[in-house]
Amino acid sequence: MTRSDPRQNARLSAALSGAVDLSAVKARAEAANRPADPEGASASQWVLDVTEATFQAEVVERSLQVPVIVDLWATWCGPCKQLSPVLERLAEAANGAWLLAKVDVDANPRIAQLFGVQSIPTVVAVAGGQPVDAFAGAQPEPQVRQWIDSLLEALREQMPGIAAAENGAEPDEQTEEPAEPEDPRFTAAEDALEQGNFEEAAAAYQRILDEEPANEQAKTALAQVRFLDRATNVDPNAVAAANANPDDVDAQLAAADAELAEQKVDEAFARLIATIRSSAGDDRDRVRKQLVDLFDLFPADDPRVVKARRNLASALF
């Protein structure tokens, strides 16, 4: 298996996303049993009320077929009450070309943490198991419609479910490729992720790499597990702390993780490259290693990675 296979990437991303909401079994059970708020309840097949317990199935797995647009809201949020009905109307009109997943952030804080939400409403588009675009704040309906239309146009060729729904077929009616046989080594790692055991999952992926050093899927998974382990524990004030202490290498490493978790990829890379330029010895090598690990979270031809690799080479030599 190679990292260039989008189905494998989506499956891996789904497992990692599941680790966030499955890491505390008790929290999942409580979220699943919590009554839905009447204001946010929905009775549509295209509009889903999602909890931490159902996030994996309703968002990650469904996004392998069509885009899932996640509406992160709260009952006390005035702008949310303006935006949510707009999204619901557009979801109904789309007839399954995309799905709307509504998440009450007060009841499901882990999902908000997963997306690095800083204010609500926040809307995140998920495709192939990964966030692909987002916006924050209430937007007028024409602007929201244009954003969704652009998203669908960009994804239409790689997600046949969009056209199938637009032509009147249900997303579940689409023909899928036969599932690949499960590799028990990866299954063990994914089981550890579902239990929130990052250390055991990392060890499982490392064992695969010890046997197959060229296994790109295991390499990518190991980088993602290590990042997820750090990102779920990062201080919300990490960036401010790092900016106030530019010579503190540990602070810069934590801030880069925080920025990457908020989709600020270029900022995270630039921060670590600047730290490499200003450090030496073991500190410099530690920062370089973490930066290279972050590169492994992305396809090798990602323009941001290509640019950062050039800048890293310049910083080192």
- What are the angstrom distances between the C-alpha of 306 and each of 227, 266, 274, 277? 20, 11, 17, 18
Catalytic one of 48, 68, 77, 152? 77
The half-sphere exposure of 152 on its side-chain side, counting CA atoms within 13 A, is: 21
CA 122 to chain centre: 14
Element (H, E) at 315: helix 303-316
Q: What is the DSSP letter of 50?
A: -
**Do 135 and 71 contact (CB within 8 A), yes or no?**
no
Q: Rounded to whole angstroms, how far apart are CA atoms 83 and 288? A: 43
In Å, what is the CA distance from 99 to each residue of 113, 154, 162, 170?
A: 21, 16, 10, 12
Tokens coding 177 = 């490729």
Question: 3-class SS at 297?
Answer: coil
The CA dihedral of 23, 48, 58, 231, to the nearest 10 degrees, is -40
Give one word for 182, left, alpha or beta, with left for phi > 0 and alpha for psi -120 to 50.
Answer: beta
Q: Is 231 a catalytic residue?
A: no
Instruction: Name the active-site residue from 15, 47, 50, 80.
Output: 80
187 in catalytic set: no
State the SS3 of 270-289: HHHHHHHHHCCHHHHHHHHH
Return the active site residues: 77, 80
